[in-house]
Amino acid sequence: MSDTDGKKPLGLGGPRSGQVKQSFSHGRTHAVVVETKRKRVLVPNPAKPGAPAGGGGSGASHLGDPSKRPAGISDAEMERRLAALRAAKAREQEDNARRAEEERQREEDRQRRREEIEAKEREERQREAALRAKAEEEERLKREAEEEAKAKAAARKADVLGTQRRQPAAPAAEPAPVAVPGDRGAGQSRPRPGAAPAAAGGEADRSGGGPKPGLTPRKTDREREDRATDRGAKRGEDVRRAGKLTLSAATGEDGGRQRSLAAMKRKQEKARQKAMGFSKPEKQARDVQLPETIVVSELANRMAERAADVVKSLMKMGMLVTMNQPIDADTAELVIEEFGHRAVRVTDADVEQAIDSVEDKAEDLITRPPVVTIMGHVDHGKTSLLDAIRKANVVSGEAGGITQHIGAYQVKTPKGDLVTFLDTPGHAAFTSMRARGAQVTDIVVLVVAADDAVMPQTIEAINHAKAAKVPMIVAINKVDKHGADPQKVRTDLLQHEVIVEAMSGEVQDVEVSAKTGFGIDALLEAIGLQAELLDLKANPNRAARGAVIEAKLDVGRGPVATVLVQNGTLKKGDIFVVGEKWGKVRALVNDKGETITEAGPSVPVEVLGLDGTPSAGDVLDVVSSEAQAREIADYRISAAKDKRAAAGAATTLEQLMAKAKADKEVAELAVIVKGDVQGSTEAILQALEKVGNAEVRVRVLHSGVGAITDSDVGLAEASGVPILAFNVRANATARSAASQKGVEIRYYSIIYDLLDDITKAASGLLKAEVRENFIGYAKVLQVFRITGVGNVAGCLVTEGVARRSAGVRLLRDNVVIHEGTLKTLKRHKDEVKEVQSGTECGMAFERYEDIRENDVIEIFEREEVQRSL
Ligand code: GDP
């Protein structure tokens, strides 16, 4: 707007100007002329090339008048010039018209866009305003009532205000009578001269918080303007205009007030953001695919939320995790719900639905050979027995010659039935396969040497077989030996709840000699009998399912797996998935080294055509297509990765107890107990029996004396139970195996503590747990006798650190001999606080002297951990 005040508008253009009425406070108004800026148009002047064309219009008339013609110009020249000028003029008019048209279109466009934005904004504002208006209205009513009384006194003073339409109200709530473009139409009265200050003063008097009477009217105006903004929005009126005062807007109104520059800027910025789609999008509820474990960042990704927010929400739940840490599905589900999404659990079952899991009909089933594993103590003759059975069978005149070693073989019983033997003796293989989910064995043959009777591994084997709920046959071996006492074996077994037939029990016992071959047929017969009792059936006419017994990478043939078919028939060309690998059967080789085209139930075969080497115990499933096989294998790979990542979280005693309780049918908590001596172990076992209550019972799966071994960890993993260690430690390999497989080993040195823990877990009372952290181990290299001090051990710290303040235990052969504190910790001649791994030091125990060479000193610290279920 230019304040031209009656002056003629400048410039060449046509009538592109208009009147705008300004209104000021005190009711003064003032009409001003506005114009829009226009570009200057250059018109070429042929007479004076390069001369400014500003005077083009007047120049033409000037040249057309002969009297004013410059001297020395001919008529023809004059004509030419005039023609050029006319043409230029015409062009100029055309240009002007076109520009005007363009300008109009642009203006229309802008107007349309503005309206669209405004409409959107209005809607939103209306919604907000409706809410706010309601709240304000309530507030107003309340305040009105309060101020009514006060107002009476003030009303006399400000009598003028009596004429006002509205009752006094809170300044913020009262819509001030302000002229805003478009307001007038709504029937609002314009501010009267002199009324504004008076009104402001009156309000201030009544509310005590409004502008003071002394304030300049200008300030009051601005305030009212702000209020008007709110009010306008409330009514959803079209009060928003672009920052520029346009001609149409200006001429359409006879007056108007502009907003503050800041308000304008804010509004423009808002509109811009809206137009560009920056506005806050509607929250979208998503279906979040949730596997068994998920890394926090991936969870955030799947919810389309910020990882930091997810971490924050986990923190609120009391879980301190970083975004690269995996969390379990249950926790993740809580998070997902908190963010307002839906969790969709995906499990193996979902991806692996492709695997045919139809129940076989009774009429499709046929009898299948039993699968036998031989177990027993070392040197009791397992291998010899397997060899003897195989040899006896080969000698008995079957075609095919010498049996191949493929991890399993089939033999015929004297009655003509087939029996499949797994060629990997010992319970280690048995347990590791079970841990992988392959319950392959139907019958366990427990080999006990008649000259040695029951030994620790015999007991382990019994416990493993019992844990797997597999029937046993006892083979009393080495009966040919001088001094063999089969009867002793039978009575020894009674102690371990294995009552053989000869002792009027149910477990078959056969006297054999692997060396002479005595009793082999009787053993096979016993197996046949047991198999009949078990009534083992399978359906050969379906997609095969089997278990890997052995797998290796063969130089010439690539990955080869010995698979024991458990159901269905495996054929050449079948596509299968086995554990995390998949393949297409290229060839099948049986235990006699013959290439076959198909293998039915209980038949062990070598399978060629895998994409990698699977692990023993992996389950093989035939699927219908390569894509399916690949998909399942991929899923298993990622699932295994997730599981490994989350392996740190071992199944704890509490979790097991909770599980046991939730499972109404198997309300029992299985544990493995290892103790330092027979006496304490017995005591623990007896006490544990009494711990059970109505809901939960404690079952000891296996117990023993001495260090925790690999085999214990294997059994714990396969059966998903914790190991309770009383004054014993896991040996190095067992320790690493336990942490890898997530097996919980709980160490105790007081029987009461052990029982207390189990009782507490059983009754669900879990208090803060004092957990011991082993911070280091030291080995005693030499023991010195120092007068006045006593025995000092010269040690080498082998693991972690030795700390003066920490607790110590003296271990001899992984059994705790003494527990206490250190009297001294010396490095060379100095007393030190800490000694790092790899360095030598001197240690002496407080009030304990019996230290020997090769003892191990365990250094531990206690920490209190709040438990949760
Ligand atoms: P494994 O460790 O259980 O597999 O036992 P082996 O099969 O390796 O046998 C251990 C030792 O016992 C070997 O020296 C065999 O020769 C011997 N042995 C095995 N069975 C018999 C048997 O029936 N009679 C005799 N006298 N010795 C046997």
Among the atoms of ligand 1, which is closest to the Cα of residue 514? 23
Residue type, position 302, single letter: R
pLDDT in tens, 153-181: 566 555 544 444 444 444 444 444 444 44
Query: Does any ligand 1 atom lie closer than 6 A to the CB of residue 427?
Result: no
- State the distance from the centre of ligand 1 to the C-alpha of 515, rounded, in angstroms: 7
- pLDDT the model gives residue 30: 77
Look at residue 465 and tell me whether its pLDDT is greater than 80.
yes
Q: Are 191 and 218 in contact (CB under 8 A)?
A: no
- What whole-number distance in Å separates Cα of residue 377 and Cα of residue 371? 20
Among the atoms of ligand 1, which is closest to the Cα of residue 516? 23
Look at residue 748 and tell me whether its pLDDT is greater than 50.
yes
> What are the start-end ranges of the H helices in 175-293?
195-207, 217-235, 247-252, 261-275
Surface-to-core class of residue 489, CB atoms within 10 Å of its CB (0-12 exposed, 13-18 middle, 19+ buried):
buried
What mean pLDDT is predicted for residues 841-849?
88
Q: Are 45 and 53 in contact (CB under 8 A)?
A: yes
Query: Does any ligand 1 atom lie closer than 6 A to the CB of residue 477?
Result: yes
DSSP 477-488: E-TTSTT--HHH
For the chain, give the percent of residues with pLDDT over 70. 70
CA torsion through residues 131, 134, 137, 141, sign: negative
- pLDDT the model gives residue 263: 84
Query: Does any ligand 1 atom lie closer than 6 A to the CB of residue 490?
Result: no
Query: Does any ligand 1 atom lie closer than 6 A to the CB of residue 519?
Result: no
Query: Does any ligand 1 atom lie closer than 6 A to the CB of residue 517?
Result: no
Residue type, position 156, single letter: R
Among the atoms of ligand 1, which is closest to the Cα of residue 380? 3
Tokens describing residue 710: 């690999």
Identify the band that residue 596 occupies on the pLDDT scale cut at 50, 70 and 90: very high
Q: Are 545 and 600 in contact (CB under 8 A)?
A: no
- pLDDT the model gives residue 151: 65
Query: 21-25, 754-758, 764-768: which range is least confident on average?
Result: 764-768
Among the atoms of ligand 1, which is closest to the Cα of residue 378? 2
- State the distance from the centre of ligand 1 to the C-alpha of 480, rounded, in angstroms: 11
What mean pLDDT is predicted for residues 93-105?
89
- pLDDT the model gives residue 352: 65
- pLDDT the model gives residue 68: 53
Identify the band that residue 617 occupies on the pLDDT scale cut at 50, 70 and 90: confident
The residue contributing the CA closest to ligand 1 atom 10 is 379
Q: Which residues pair with 508 in a beta bridge?
A: 473
Query: Does any ligand 1 atom lie closer than 6 A to the CB of residue 384?
Result: yes
Query: Does any ligand 1 atom lie closer than 6 A to the CB of residue 515?
Result: yes
- State the distance from the centre of ligand 1 to the C-alpha of 476, rounded, in angstroms: 12
- State the distance from the centre of ligand 1 to the C-alpha of 482, rounded, in angstroms: 14
Tokens describing residue 273: 């953001």
Query: In terms of residues, how long is the chain?
Result: 869
Tokens describing residue 761: 């877990």
For the chain, give the percent of residues with pLDDT over 90. 14
Identify the band that residue 762 occupies on the pLDDT scale cut at 50, 70 and 90: low
- State the distance from the centre of ligand 1 to the C-alpha of 386, rounded, in angstroms: 11
- What whole-number distance in Å separates Cα of residue 796 and Cα of residue 804? 15
Give the residue, out of 373, 375, 379, with the most ligand 1 atoms within 8 A of its beta carbon, to mutate for a pocket test: 379
Identify the band that residue 509 occupies on the pLDDT scale cut at 50, 70 and 90: very high
Residue type, position 551, single letter: A
- pLDDT the model gives residue 574: 93
- pLDDT the model gives residue 477: 93
Q: Who has greater pLDDT, 22 or 210?
A: 22
What mean pLDDT is predicted for residues 436-465?
86
- What whole-number distance in Å separates Cα of residue 116 and Cα of residue 94? 33
Query: Does any ligand 1 atom lie closer than 6 A to the CB of residue 478?
Result: yes
What mean pLDDT is predicted for residues 436-458?
85
- pLDDT the model gives residue 156: 58
Look at residue 213 and tell me whether its pLDDT is greater than 70.
no
Q: Who has greater pLDDT, 193 or 616?
A: 616
Distance of CA 400 to the CA centre of its chain: 55
What mean pLDDT is predicted for residues 252-268?
71
Identify the band that residue 203 occupies on the pLDDT scale cut at 50, 70 and 90: very low
Query: Does any ligand 1 atom lie closer than 6 A to the CB of residue 114?
Result: no
- State the distance from the centre of ligand 1 to the C-alpha of 716, rounded, in angstroms: 29
- State the distance from the centre of ligand 1 to the C-alpha of 379, rounded, in angstroms: 6
The residue contributing the CA closest to ligand 1 atom 25 is 478
Tell me the three state secondary structure of residue 525.
Answer: helix
If phi > 0 it is left, if psi is from -120 to 50 it is alpha, else beta; for residue 599 that is: beta
Query: 284-293, 578-587, 616-625: which range is least confident on average?
Result: 284-293
Residue type, position 204, single letter: A
The residue contributing the CA closest to ligand 1 atom 9 is 381
Q: Are 779 and 795 in contact (CB under 8 A)?
A: yes
Look at residue 320 and tell me whether its pLDDT is greater than 80.
yes
Q: Side-chain half-sphere of 122: how many Cα atoms within 13 Å?
A: 14
Query: Does any ligand 1 atom lie closer than 6 A to the CB of residue 424?
Result: no
What mean pLDDT is predicted for residues 404-411?
79
Kind of pairing, strands 840-845 and 815-827? antiparallel
HEC per residue, 65-99: CHHHCCCCCCHHHHHHHHHHHHHHHHHHHHHHHHH
- pLDDT the model gives residue 660: 58
Give the residue, out of 375, 384, 511, with the most ligand 1 atoms within 8 A of its beta carbon, to mutate for a pocket test: 384
- What whole-number distance in Å separates Cα of residue 719 and Cα of residue 278? 56
- State the distance from the centre of ligand 1 to the C-alpha of 378, rounded, in angstroms: 9
The residue contributing the CA closest to ligand 1 atom 14 is 379
Convert 673-704 to b/e letters by CB count within 10 Å (16 or more is b). bbbbeeebbeebeebbeebbeeebbbbbbbbb
- pLDDT the model gives residue 73: 66
DSSP 8-state assignment for residue 433:
H
- What whole-number distance in Å separates Cα of residue 753 and Cα of residue 833? 30
The residue contributing the CA closest to ligand 1 atom 18 is 381
- pLDDT the model gives residue 173: 42
Query: Does any ligand 1 atom lie closer than 6 A to the CB of residue 458?
Result: no
- What whole-number distance in Å separates Cα of residue 255 and Cα of residue 253? 5
Q: Computed over its alpha carbons, how large is the radius of gyration of the chain?
A: 48
- pLDDT the model gives residue 15: 47
Identify the band that residue 404 occupies on the pLDDT scale cut at 50, 70 and 90: low
The residue contributing the CA closest to ligand 1 atom 19 is 381
- State the distance from the centre of ligand 1 to the C-alpha of 513, rounded, in angstroms: 9
Give the number of other CB atoms < 10 A from CB of residue 30: 12
Query: Does any ligand 1 atom lie closer than 6 A to the CB of residue 382?
Result: yes
- What whole-number distance in Å separates Cα of residue 786 and Cα of residue 792? 7
Q: Between the CA atoms of 144, 148, 152 and 157, what dihedral angle is there, to the nearest 10 degrees?
A: -20
**What residues contact residue 577 under an 8 Å CB cut-off, 6+ apart?**
355, 620, 621, 623, 628, 629, 632, 633, 636
Round the average pLDDT of the chain to a whole number and report it. 76
- pLDDT the model gives residue 479: 92
- What whole-number distance in Å separates Cα of residue 218 and Cα of residue 723? 84
Look at residue 53 and tell me whether its pLDDT is greater than 70.
no
Look at residue 864 and tell me whether its pLDDT is greater than 90.
no
Look at residue 429 and tell me whether its pLDDT is greater than 90.
no
Tokens describing residue 711: 């085999």
Query: 233-247, 388-402, 591-605, 679-693: which range is least confident on average?
Result: 233-247
Closest-CA residue to 137 (of 175, 86, 164): 175
For tokens 């007068």, the residue is 787
Tokens describing residue 412: 């015929």
Query: Does any ligand 1 atom lie closer than 6 A to the CB of residue 379?
Result: yes
pLDDT in tens, 846-857: 888 888 888 999
pLDDT in tens, 273-282: 777 765 555 6
Look at residue 386 and tell me whether its pLDDT is greater than 60.
yes
DSSP 456-503: HHHHHHHHHHHHTT--EEEEEE-TTSTT--HHHHHHHHHTTT--BGGG
- pLDDT the model gives residue 135: 81
Query: Does any ligand 1 atom lie closer than 6 A to the CB of residue 798?
Result: no
Identify the band that residue 452 occupies on the pLDDT scale cut at 50, 70 and 90: confident
Q: Are 723 and 708 in contact (CB under 8 A)?
A: yes
Q: How far is CA 337 from CA 13, 310, 552, 745, 853, in A?
A: 67, 12, 46, 35, 60
Query: Does any ligand 1 atom lie closer than 6 A to the CB of residue 177?
Result: no
Look at residue 6 and tell me whether its pLDDT is greater than 90.
no
Q: How far is CA 15 from CA 12, 30, 89, 93, 746, in A?
A: 9, 21, 18, 14, 97
- State the distance from the centre of ligand 1 to the C-alpha of 474, rounded, in angstroms: 16
Q: What is the reported pTM?
A: 0.47
Query: Does any ligand 1 atom lie closer than 6 A to the CB of residue 383?
Result: yes
The residue contributing the CA closest to ligand 1 atom 11 is 379
Tell me the three state secondary structure of residue 730.
Answer: strand
Give the H/E segment covering residue 122.
Answer: helix 75-157
What mean pLDDT is predicted for residues 39-57?
48
- What whole-number distance in Å separates Cα of residue 447 and Cα of residue 376? 5
Look at residue 650 and tell me whether its pLDDT is greater than 60.
no
Identify the band that residue 258 occupies on the pLDDT scale cut at 50, 70 and 90: low
